[in-house]
Chain A
């Protein structure tokens, strides 16, 4: 006898998606990151809308595959993943829990309101970023590009450790 599964609820799907992490920042779930924009359940069909962080982010394909596998394991076969570009992703959508997890992991979380403003601000002062290791504010930017598209490369002038800073992207 086949057990009839109750149709999934949207709330349940959101909870399940907490279990999908960003492959490049494994300490963050895709919910923490604000990548999941919508979940819609229509009978047996489930629609999940995600948005890329950066245009060329190679993690997006992996994330879509992981969502599919996870929901498949929950008996959800009719899954549609939609990729939405607008409104464009911003670090404002990153949860408070996510920011804390990032810092604990050794990546400085985004400092809101410091997105690369007008491009004419050349050689402007670097965003003051707190060292995630020794918590000093005495740090400097090495490069605005780092290990992944979403991060800048900083160094602490007190403990001298280099660290990644998750750029404010608004």
Chain B
């Protein structure tokens, strides 16, 4: 990221309307979510189980980072207080971050990373399809771009869930354990926060009920092929979208923000 004088903000310079300005917290939430997941995936760089999958995770991380930048640039413009994409990404504390809890969970082993990615991809892909035809032109433009990439991601993570579930005894044990540990964070994705509820009522944010159904259908199909059971009756954790995070986010941000916190305004 960092200050970049050659590339202007992506959106037109016209001041956002009042309706658009309400979208700020939602766009920021999307930005935070993509950035945190990009960071987690990038932690694998150089540590992947095999070279091809190391590259796959780095590529997916880059897609999320690019998407995050588009959202941060738009959020900065919507806020209109002179903060830049870098200020929003590097100079906010953990309680100000609005990403759901799922994406900040540590990488664990490859199975944990795959299950985390699979759950998020199922939500992300269907969300982008909705945003692409939504009322806000800039969000629609970002989604139109990103949904093509998200299609590669969901294919990749779905195939890996199947390989691991229907693979060896060891891969199955690990993927089942990952599902057991991460499922509690899946519900937050489609449970609207108070902010999202208000925007949904105004028709600015898609209804999550439809997305939840599409997610469930895809998960059921993939788990069936993977010979895995979809967990039932799990108590769902939430809070990330309101700034109440697990302890992992602080450590992640300490690394992500280190340079800007130590040398404010540093450029390269």
Question: A residues engaging B (CB < 8 A)?
Answer: 52, 54-58, 60-61, 64-65, 68, 80-89, 115-116, 119-123, 142-147, 149, 153, 169-170
Q: How far is the CA of A153 from the CA of B58 in the complex (A)?
A: 14
Known: A55-B67, A120-B218. A61 touches B4 (CB 8 A): yes
The 8 Å CB contact of A147, one of B6, B55, B66, B146, is B55
A116/B225 in contact, CB under 8 A: no
In the complex, what residue of chain B is closest to A58 when comparing beta carbons?
B62
The residue in A86, A121, A142, A170 that gathers the most chain B C-beta atoms within 10 A of its C-beta is: A86
The 8 Å CB contact of B225, one of A52, A87, A122, A142, is A122
B63/A55 in contact, CB under 8 A: yes
Chain B residues whose CB sits within 8 angstroms of the CB of A80 once the complex forms:
8
How many chain B residues sit at the interface, stated as a range, is 35 or more
Question: B residues engaging A (CB < 8 A)?
Answer: 4, 6-8, 10, 52-53, 55-56, 58-60, 62-67, 69-70, 125, 137, 140-142, 144-146, 148-149, 151-152, 154-156, 158-159, 162, 218, 221-222, 225
Q: How many A-B residue pairs have CB under 8 A?
A: 109
Chain A residues whose CB sits within 8 angstroms of the CB of B154 once the complex forms:
119
Chain A residues whose CB sits within 8 angstroms of the CB of B225 once the complex forms:
122
Q: In terms of DSSP, what is the predominant structure of the interface of chain B?
A: helix
Q: How far is the CA of A55 from the CA of B141 in the complex (A)?
A: 11
Known: A52-B66, A55-B63. A143 touches B145 (CB 8 A): no
Q: How far is the CA of A147 from the CA of B58 in the complex (A)?
A: 10
Chain A residues whose CB sits within 8 angstroms of the CB of B151 once the complex forms:
116, 119
Q: In terms of DSSP, what is the predominant structure of the interface of chain A?
A: loop
A120/B7 in contact, CB under 8 A: no
Q: How far is the CA of A39 from the CA of B15 in the complex (A)?
A: 24
Q: How far is the CA of A68 from the CA of B6 in the complex (A)?
A: 8
Q: How far is the CA of A154 from the CA of B80 in the complex (A)?
A: 46
Q: How far is the CA of A81 from the CA of B6 in the complex (A)?
A: 8
